Amino acid sequence: MVYHSTFADEEGITKACGCPLLPLKSRKKGPAPVSEQGKTDIVDEAITFFRCNVFFRNFDIKGPADKLLIYLTFYINLSLRKLEGCRTLAEGSKAILNLGVENVTIPGESGFPFTGLFSLPQSQQEAELLRDYLKQIREETSGRLLGVAYRPNGTPNKWWLAFAKRKFMNIALLDK
């Protein structure tokens, strides 16, 4: 059974292109509302559920937060592939933090890997809001992923990097 997000369609959550702009425990600047530090956010869920969910070929979407969970699962997989050749935390940090800010495409642009997952932006303002949110959530995910992909001594954690070879929903994203 696939793991779904625990974030239901909560009242008062802003959406852009059908993507909920969920709160993040982040110090990075962006449009995401700030979450309490002791509370689980969508990035925590994506990292926690990644190693289980990556084995599934199908993912039944039960709410808008599941769409964001799918996006983050693919992003984590792409990040782990970037980290495969990095033998130290310093190398990994450089590779993955750059990935978090580059090529943030949104629905309707060429290169956006999930046609149909999110709706097309209705205005330039909505497009920029989604782009900024995805950039912020990718940066936050990259930073937290380094904490699990590398041990405290800076060596790679093979129990995480081994999952770079897995295909979620039998799809392998091509990194550019």
Mapped onto helix, strand or coil, the DSSP state of residue 70 is helix
Separation CA 149–CA 116 (nearest Å): 31
For the segment 98-126, the average pLDDT, to the nearest whole number, is 86
Number of domains in the chain: 1
Residue 32 in contact with residue 41, Cβ under 8 Å?
no
User: Is residue 17 a part of any domain in this protein?
Assistant: no
User: Is residue 43 a part of any domain in this protein?
Assistant: yes
Strand partners, 15: 20
What percent of the chain clears pLDDT 70, i.e. is strictly above it?
91
Structural domain boundaries, residue 89: 26-165
pLDDT-based confidence at 176, cuts 50/70/90? Answer: very low
User: Is residue 45 a part of any domain in this protein?
Assistant: yes
For residue 79, what is the domain's CATH number? 1.10.1760.10
User: Is residue 5 a part of any domain in this protein?
Assistant: no
What would the two tokens of residue 38 be? Answer: 């002791």
pLDDT tens, residue by residue, 115-160: 788 999 999 999 999 999 999 999 999 999 999 999 999 999 988 8
User: Is residue 2 a part of any domain in this protein?
Assistant: no
Separation CA 30–CA 1 (nearest Å): 34
Separation CA 133–CA 56 (nearest Å): 27
